[in-house]
Amino acid sequence: MKYTEGMLVQDALKDQVVLVTGGGTGLGRSMTSYFLTLGAKLVISSRKMEVLEKTAAELREQTGAEVLPLECDIRDYEQVDRMFRQAREYFGKIDVVVNNAAANFISPTDRLSVRAFHTILDIVLKGTANLTLIAGKDWISRKNAGVFLNIVTTYAFTGSAYVVPSAAAKAGVLAMTRSLAVEWAPHGIRSNAIAPGPFPTAGAWDRLLPGELADKFNPAKRVPLGRVGDHQELANLAAYLISPYSAYINGEIITIDGGEWLQGAGQFNGLKSLNKEFWDSMEKQRKGSG
């Protein structure tokens, strides 16, 4: 068995209707693809209809399952409301919302215009709030159970220089996840999040590691396990968290980063660079003076 293989039993998501924002590209597409193989029906939504339609056609071809592409800019509450209603009317219900759509760029904060800063907050924090409010109200008024899975980042809890609007917005999504896990649990609504470390996608890599940055800042080198993530391992975790198998998991933020953020956090973690001779001489001194 390998981490590049699907993990859940066949039919783990049978007849579940899952809405994935940003489902046409990157990690959203990988999650969508795996959920389909587990028996789910999918709605994928984002701004670019041609990208969504291409992904939907390819995934239908691969899996034989149903995928509904719907255009929607999550910044616009009316568009999100329309998209959610269209999706529910098409499939008769929505069981799971994966808040995956996001935007980011790398920049010193003092070089950002206020419009640039707000653009990221609007997509990541307010966009997630828009869909969460619409889906949550719908589920509560119909007395339906539901599951939210929010994709955040590890710097949602640490903060990070050079991606400040994204860090602030993702921290807001993290707080929303934990808050609603308590508030809406009595309605049968679970809320969890995944905090991924580096997973190669065109969207993230082109924006966060443009040009020479990709050579200077090799993400794999920052990870104690020495590699970046494989999309299937994230899809496995996501499928588990939206499936009935995780029915007692609520309000968790699960990190999947090979130990990356902790490596930066531990005060003495830098000592990893010291060699065997150094530790041998330390031991000798200690024993000699003991």
For residues 106 and 162, the answer to whether their CB atoms sit within 8 Å is yes
Helix or strand holding residue 193 (H, E): strand 189-196
**Residue written as tokens 């590049």?**
4
Q: Which amino acid is at 181?
A: A
Burial 84-101 (b: 16+ CB within 10 A, else e): bebbbeebebbbbbbbbb
Closest separation in Å from C-beta 204 to ligand HXC: 4
Which residue has the CB atom at the shortest distance from ligand NAP? Answer: 203
What are the start-end ranges of the H helices in the chain? 26-37, 49-63, 77-91, 114-120, 127-142, 155-158, 164-183, 202-208, 213-216, 231-242, 260-265, 276-289
For ligand HXC, the binding residues (CB under 6 A) are 102-105, 107, 112-113, 115-116, 119, 153, 166, 198, 203-204, 207-208
Q: What is the DSSP string of 198-227?
A: ----HHHHHHHS-TTHHHHS-GGGGSTTSS
Closest separation in Å from C-beta 173 to ligand HXC: 11
What whole-number distance in Å separates Cα of residue 242 and Cα of residue 240?
Answer: 6
Closest separation in Å from C-beta 176 to ligand NAP: 14
Closest separation in Å from C-beta 153 to ligand HXC: 4
Q: Which amino acid is at 99?
A: N
Closest separation in Å from C-beta 290 to ligand NAP: 47
What whole-number distance in Å separates Cα of residue 133 and Cα of residue 112?
Answer: 29
Nearest to 69 by CA among 20, 34, 33: 20
Cβ closest to ligand NAP, residue 91 vs residue 199:
199
Cβ closest to ligand NAP, residue 66 vs residue 73:
73
Which one from 34, 77, 90, 155 is the annotated catalytic residue? 155
With CB cut-offs between 5 and 8 Å by kind, which of ligand NAP, ligand HXC, none does residue 116 bind?
Answer: ligand HXC
Which residue has the CB atom at the shortest distance from ligand HXC? Answer: 113
Cβ closest to ligand NAP, residue 27 vs residue 125:
27
* 165, 166, 171, 176 alpha-carbon torsion, rounded to 10°: 100
Closest separation in Å from C-beta 17 to ligand HXC: 25
Cβ closest to ligand NAP, residue 189 vs residue 234:
234
Cβ closest to ligand HXC, residue 40 vs residue 208:
208
With CB cut-offs between 5 and 8 Å by kind, which of ligand NAP, ligand HXC, none does residue 126 bind?
Answer: none
For ligand NAP, the binding residues (CB under 6 A) are 21-22, 24-28, 46-48, 51, 73-75, 100-103, 123, 127, 151, 153, 196, 198-199, 201, 203-204
With CB cut-offs between 5 and 8 Å by kind, which of ligand HXC, ligand NAP, none does residue 286 bind?
Answer: none
Output the six-digit token pair for 265. 């956090």
Cβ closest to ligand HXC, residue 113 vs residue 141:
113
Q: Is 155 a catalytic residue?
A: yes
Catalytic residues: 155
